Chains A and B, each alone.
Chain A
Amino acid sequence: MNKTTIISLGFLLVMGVFPFFADSAWLAVGTTFLVFSVVAFSQDIILGRAGAFHMGHAAFFGLGAYTTAILNTHFGWPILATWAPAVIIPMVVALITTAPIIHLRGDYLLVTTIGINIIFLQVLENDLFGITGGPNGIFGIDVVKIFGYELFEQIHMYFMAFILLGITLFIMKTLDGSKFGRAMFYINKDDVAAQSMGIDLRYYKLYAFAIGAGLAGAAGSMFAVQYSAVSPEAFDVLQSIMFFTIVLVGGSASLPGVLLGTFVMFVLPEIFREFETARYLVFGLAMILTMILRPRGIWPAKFGNIPAFLKKGKK
């Protein structure tokens, strides 16, 4: 067992017992924390691994949420049946929208991905095809029904989100140990060298966007079910900026880093709710300080994820 596995298992254990100590409000915060962690991980695939400056992730998250909401409320699909489209549609949209801009460098990509988010939001607000519910969004989304049971309680939501996070961690681990994950890192660290090693930049960046969007879509679907409502403001650019910041404050491409980032950027503001107006000021200061003191994030990524049999010689 390597360190990452131990950390993941420890974390899963803590989160597994958390609901038995928390009241329903904190359970809601906990559930949202799990959902946001999944989104943060999916953002991290694109930003932390493939190194694409992507600041429009809330669009893919929202697309998953709206897919579930629309299929369920307008077309009467059961929630379970909406899961596949809630993953596939964001994937396809991510591929279509990023394919023409994937070659853009750094900040140019950043601003165009903000654009994707803004266009998505405008589609929602303008109620395109009359199915998005406009600025109101969509209310009254069903709960998951399985074998005749209705999973409507908060603790059910929590454990569904928990399972989703587990699946996400498994995917992240597989990705990091595959040629796909490594190719993303190579591109991130030096794209010219990566190309010369036969790595197709375009393919792997799009691959990152597709996987990232798919996971974000799954999280979005969960989010829609948890709140039984979706509305545009939950998926605006500020939300994208939050996911972007979570990854960088926590530590990009670092599993514990991203979890910490989500905790710091989402759960702490909930805990400090009492401070009301001043909290975002403190928050901004903390962002600056974190970057100055730990430019690679609170818990930076460590490389050297190689099989044990190669680790001979000096430690």
Chain B
Amino acid sequence: MDIFLQQIVNGLTIGSLYALVALGYTMVYGVMKLINFAHGDLVALSAFAGLTIYTSIFADGGTSIIAVITVFMFTAAIIAVVGVLLERLAYRPLRTAPRLSAVVSALGAGLVIQNSIMLIWGPNMKIFPSDLFPSTIYDINGVVITFTQLMILIFSSVLMIALYLFINKTKIGTAIRAVAIDQDAAKLMGINVNKIIMIIFIIGSALGAVAGLFIGIYYRGITFDMGWMYGLNAFVAAIIGGIGNIPGAMFGGLMLGLFNALISGYISSAWAETFTFMLLIVVLIFRPTGILGEKVAEKV
């Protein structure tokens, strides 16, 4: 039983990281109907940027809560700016172009970010210091959870709840939802669509940055090409949950994390990805727009 619970803890940790990244995909998709293939690489970029900020500002000052918070704030801000630039330069000129052109542009942007990381930080794995968070380990009846894991779980839940409230209870949130449903109508209602899209990219990128930093702190080793893997998993999570749907992304991320952990733990880790995509296909066969996605009837 403790082995099972341990797998649940493992799954939820990685699942919350997927969920944070998935939110970035789903928000952009909801508004622009575009798979932002560069999002995973933004996540990777945030880990590298965060590491550089940490080592340059707090070179030998050791760690403090302030140091960690500063790193998170700075990194999130930088990645948000990159995200906005990404939209301005690579996506906005293509808003009226065929949908697939924007997909290629996104793939190209991912390549640019990934290779910029490689040129700036080099092809080698970079390693986060192990003392950003205390290395405390809590053992509850044989189920082990580290301080970092706990932080990941708590922080991502807080961020997700905050985002949910922001989208559903504030004026900007309402505007975002309006733009997601019908851009033209929203424009007629006086909503500045460009501003909304900018906000989407700021929030999505900042959440991705938080995920990237957590990945760095938790797993320590970061590589320039790691964005692809996290991106793909998070994207699958967003689709399983129902792309465009914010609670869907959260649900999808957690579900995928759990599913992966249980498959790897009880069936075979060698076939984990196969099972992931089987799950995706099964979900889509029964719910073509994802578990929490709404059914869209096409107007004829």
Contact = CB atoms under 8 A, between A and B. Distances in A.
- Verify whether A and B have any Cβ pair under 8 Å: yes
A284 B109 CA distance: 6
A105 B298 CA distance: 12
Contact of B98 (A111, A118, A295): A295
Interface in A89-117: 100-101, 103-108, 110-112, 114-116
Given A111-B235, A248-B100, A126 B270 contact: yes
A280 B93 CA distance: 22
Contacts of A103: 288
A263 to B, nearest CB: 16
A237 B97 CA distance: 25
Interface string A247-285: 011001000000000000000000000000110110111
Given A110-B35, A277-B119, A296-B98, A287 B284 contact: no
B288 A292 contact: no
B172 interface: no
Nearest to B238: A111
Nearest to B99: A106
Interface in A200-254: 237, 241, 244-245, 248-249, 252
A296 B96 CA distance: 12
A163 interface: no
A101 B29 CA distance: 21
B277 A115 contact: yes
Given A106-B99, A291-B102, A296-B101, A115 B107 contact: no
Main secondary structure of the interface of A (DSSP, over half): helix
A122 interface: yes
A112 B102 contact: no
Contact of B271 (A126, A192, A245, A252): A126
B274 A287 contact: no
B140 interface: no
Nearest to B105: A291
A116 B105 CA distance: 23
Nearest to B296: A105
B21 interface: no
B105 A288 contact: yes
Contacts of A288: 89-90, 105, 108-109, 112
B30 interface: no
Given A111-B280, A284-B110, A118 B104 contact: no
Contacts of A108: 239, 284, 288-289
Interface in A286-300: 286-288, 290-292, 295-296
B180 to A, nearest CB: 15
Contact of B115 (A53, A105, A278, A290): A278
A151 interface: no
Interface string A296-307: 100000000000
Interface residues of B, number: 48
B79 interface: no
B285 interface: yes
Contact of A291 (B101, B243, B270): B101
A118 to B, nearest CB: 5
A119 interface: yes
Contact of B111 (A53, A104, A281): A281
Interface in B69-114: 89-90, 93-94, 97-105, 107-114
Contact of B280 (A115, A237, A286, A290): A115
A245 B107 contact: yes
Interface string A3-31: 00000000000000000000000000000
Nearest to A252: B100
A119 B236 CA distance: 14
Interface string A130-141: 000000000000
B2 interface: no
Contacts of B68: none
B284 to A, nearest CB: 6
Given A103-B288, A108-B288, A112-B280, A119 B115 contact: no
A245 B110 CA distance: 13
Nearest to B225: A238
B116 interface: yes
Contacts of B103: 110, 248
A215 to B, nearest CB: 21
Given A119-B277, A277-B119, 12 more contacts: A108-B288, A112-B284, A114-B277, A115-B281, A192-B300, A241-B107, A277-B115, A284-B107, A284-B110, A287-B104, A287-B107, A296-B101
28 contacts: A53-B100, A103-B288, A105-B288, A107-B29, A107-B35, A108-B288, A110-B103, A111-B236, A111-B280, A112-B281, A115-B276, A119-B278, A122-B271, A126-B271, A248-B101, A252-B100, A277-B119, A277-B123, A280-B114, A283-B108, A284-B112, A285-B108, A286-B108, A287-B111, A288-B90, A291-B94, A291-B101, A292-B93
* 9 closest A-B pairs by CB: A287-B108, A284-B111, A115-B277, A295-B97, A284-B112, A281-B115, A295-B101, A288-B108, A291-B105
